[in-house]
Structure 1
Amino acid sequence: MGLHRGPRLLDFTKTPAHLQFNKYVLTGYRPVSTAPDCLRSLFYMHNELGNIYSHGIPFLLFLVLLPYSIPWMEVDSTWICVAHYLACLCPTIGSVLYHVFMNHIGGEHVYDTLLSLDMVGVCLVNTLGALPIIFITLLCHPAVQQAAMLAYILLSAYGIYCATTAHTNFLRLRAFVWQALFRVSLFLFRVYGSGVGSPDSLRLFVIMDALAVLGGLVNVIQIPERFSPGLFDNWGNSHQIMHVMVVCSIVYLHWGTMADLAWIKTFQCPAG
């Protein structure tokens, strides 16, 4: 990045303790900075640049392009479209803010606040993204539908608490397990019960969750940098791989939800 000459970057051992969360990334750490200096780091090379742009560019694309592919006026329950759109935006914007300002002079307090915001974004994509799936899967069971949506919201609140109070990547990943199992139960209800939905969406939703889980595991295990410390400091490390998988997961969520919304326009629940 030749647009701006950045400050002298730090090695792992010279960076503040709260930023020493990946011992296999050895160089390229930004020094403690003011908010304007954090923003200037968008224009020079460092080891968080890939994390910023791998979610920043998709956020802008989702923000601008997704509204054109959502059938706002064709769906009776407009809240489904609103929830889905917000779900696609939440994890990327929280992530960008976290990675841009994580080295702020406010220190560990600011870092923890930003990390919590990032985790809330992940929880919201799980929550808001799943509500249309619950609504459509249980379309022919209104009482169960409402109870399931309430239960999932409460479960998500618990997930937010666990994710924002966890101190390791493994514990943060574990905070989303119950939400994932809830969605799996919905998928099974579509296959083996009386749940409904587009014949095409289930495959897309399964791929969505598989990508998200795989990305989380890659981040926890810290591969490939674990096998070659220092080689992936700026590009290709586990966190960036996770970011790409999260974006792909959001795309599959969008495709699956759009398939369901196209399907619901012609579906009528059986009488009785």
Structure 2
Amino acid sequence: MKIKKNANEECINAADTIEVFKPRKDKERLSDSDSDEAEAQTRRPGSSDPPSHSPSTITLLSYHEAPIHLRFNPYILSGYRGYLSTKMCIESIFWMTNETINIWSHIFGWMLFLALTMYDLFLLNLQASVFDKFIVGLLLCCFQICMVTSTLYHVFSCKSERHFHNFLCFDLFGIALSLLAIYLTGVYYAFWCHKEWQYFYLATVFVIFIACMIMQIPRLNVDPNLKMIMFVCWAAYGVVPTVHWALIMGGWENPIVSMLLPRVVGMYGISGLAFLIYITRFPECFFKGKVDFIGSSHQWWHFFVVLALYHWHNTGIKYIEYRMNHGCTHDMRI
């Protein structure tokens, strides 16, 4: 009888154990976003260690301590954030990490293009039609979106690997949108007097844009190098309408060509230099660990991106002013 009693007690204890670890009902389960938030909240800020319950210290990590998805530049050896909650990601904007300048450079870029939007639309004495002002406003809005999506990516890339990839897609969308805006404004004004070519180039640009966006769909699992090649080819495609425009305008002897073609070449020069720095990871490839916080290639990339977009805005304003004054005339005098 004693053995039977112990067996019954064991059965009761086992039942209690099963009850304790019984799965939650569907209504009680956390959503994916809540789970990510809860996990991030329990991890020590700036740490890639398993979750703990003391989020009181701020510690930056070395390259080998950082989450694996953030280790894409082996020349940046320090200043990494660990897994952070949404609140801590926002607070990290004011920390000094290897992402700080990346974040603030495009915050200031957004402020610049917001100020230019208000100035161009409300203060600049430009005798342009409502639609022309809409085109300028659209260009600057796309530039602002590019700045915002880039900033969000660099702020929340450490929240989780899933958030990293999601915000990277937003970042690439912002880049594609700004490139689309550059093409739309350039083609619209360059072929203002040649509507058939204007429609042709606008159509081809939209097709390439859609192709680039399709390649960003995560389920397709497109190789990142192929995505990069697609963006480079899209940017290089701009040479075709540029050369065509210069030829139909009469070449260098036309003042509008001699005035604007060097600016278009300058745009490609700035963008090309930025891309060269980006892919070669200069200067950190020569000064490993020396420019982790200030002066790394991605920070220079951000600076040149803002410069290129600002340069294109100024070029567009010059072209609008010329068209407003000369229309479709081929007069050689400005």
TM-score normalised per structure 2: 0.73
- Identify the residue that residue 198 of structure 2 maps to in structure 1: 145
* Residue 134 of structure 1 pairs with residue 187 of structure 2: yes
Work out whether residues 197 and 264 of structure 1, in 8 Å CA contact, stay in contact via their aligned partners in 2.
no
* Residue 125 of structure 1 pairs with residue 184 of structure 2: no
- Higher Cα Rg, which structure: 2
Superimposed CA distance per residue, residues 120-143 of structure 1 (whole angstroms, 9 cap, x where no aligned partner): 111111101211110111112212
Taking the aligned partners of 1:149 and 1:185, their CA distance within structure 2 comes to 13
Work out whether residues 12 and 27 of structure 1, in 8 Å CA contact, stay in contact via their aligned partners in 2.
yes
Task: Call closer, same or farther: CA 1:197–1:260 in 2, change over 3 Å.
Answer: farther
Greater Cα shift, 172-181 or 29-38 = 172-181
Instruction: State the AA in 1 paired with 2:128.
Output: E
- Identify the residue that residue 184 of structure 1 maps to in structure 2: 239
Task: Call closer, same or farther: CA 1:197–1:187 in 2, change over 3 Å.
Answer: farther
Equivalent position SS for 1:176:
helix
- Identify the residue that residue 282 of structure 2 maps to in structure 1: 223
Instruction: Give 1:233 shift.
Output: 0.6
Task: Call closer, same or farther: CA 1:268–1:95 in 2, change over 3 Å.
Answer: same
Greater Cα shift, 184-193 or 262-271 = 262-271
Taking the aligned partners of 2:70 and 2:305, their CA distance within structure 1 comes to 22
Task: Call closer, same or farther: CA 1:254–1:162 in 2, change over 3 Å.
Answer: same
Q: Pick the aligned partner of 1:97 from 133, 138, 152.
A: 152
* Residue 235 of structure 1 pairs with residue 305 of structure 2: no
Work out whether residues 149 and 171 of structure 2, in 8 Å CA contact, stay in contact via their aligned partners in 1.
yes
Taking the aligned partners of 2:186 and 2:256, their CA distance within structure 1 comes to 10
Instruction: Give 1:222 shift.
Output: 0.7
Q: Pick the aligned partner of 2:131 from 77, 84, 90.
A: 77
Equivalent position SS for 1:56:
helix
Work out whether residues 157 and 163 of structure 2, in 8 Å CA contact, stay in contact via their aligned partners in 1.
yes
Superimposed CA distance per residue, residues 230-254 of structure 1 (whole angstroms, 9 cap, x where no aligned partner): 1011110000011111011011111
Equivalent position SS for 2:64:
helix
Q: Pick the aligned partner of 1:86 from 134, 141, 157.
A: 141
Instruction: Give 1:220 shift.
Output: 1.2
Q: Count how many residue pairs are aligned between Structure 1 and Structure 2.
A: 264
Identity %: 26
Instruction: Give 1:20 shift.
Output: 0.6
Instruction: State the AA in 1 paired with 2:140.
Output: Y
> What pairs up with 1:19-98 in 2 under 5 angstroms?
19-70=70-121, 74-78=128-132, 79-98=134-153
Superimposed CA distance per residue, residues 98-152 of structure 1 (whole angstroms, 9 cap, x where no aligned partner): 0011001xx2211111001001111111101211110111112212211221221
Greater relative contact order structure (CA < 8 Å, 6+ sep) = 1
* Residue 257 of structure 1 pairs with residue 312 of structure 2: no
Instruction: Give 1:13 shift.
Output: 0.8
Work out whether residues 127 and 324 of structure 2, in 8 Å CA contact, stay in contact via their aligned partners in 1.
no
Task: Call closer, same or farther: CA 1:45–1:154 in 2, change over 3 Å.
Answer: same
Instruction: Give 1:270 shift.
Output: 5.3
CA RMSD of the aligned region, Å? 2.3
Instruction: State the AA in 2 paired with 1:12.
Output: Y
Unaligned runs of 5+ in 1: none
Instruction: State the AA in 2 paired with 1:154.
Output: V
Work out whether residues 79 and 97 of structure 2, in 8 Å CA contact, stay in contact via their aligned partners in 1.
yes
Greater Cα shift, 258-267 or 30-39 = 258-267
Task: Call closer, same or farther: CA 1:124–1:141 in 2, change over 3 Å.
Answer: same
* Residue 108 of structure 1 pairs with residue 167 of structure 2: no
Task: Call closer, same or farther: CA 1:57–1:166 in 2, change over 3 Å.
Answer: farther
Greater Cα shift, 207-216 or 72-81 = 72-81
Unaligned runs of 5+ in 2: 1-55
Taking the aligned partners of 2:311 and 2:114, their CA distance within structure 1 comes to 16
Instruction: State the AA in 1 paired with 2:91.
Output: R
Instruction: Give 1:73 shift.
Output: 6.5
- Identify the residue that residue 7 of structure 2 maps to in structure 1: none
Instruction: State the AA in 1 paired with 2:230.
Output: A
Equivalent position SS for 2:325:
coil
Taking the aligned partners of 1:135 and 1:65, their CA distance within structure 2 comes to 20
Taking the aligned partners of 2:223 and 2:255, their CA distance within structure 1 comes to 38
TM-score normalised per structure 1: 0.88
Instruction: State the AA in 1 paired with 2:321.
Output: A
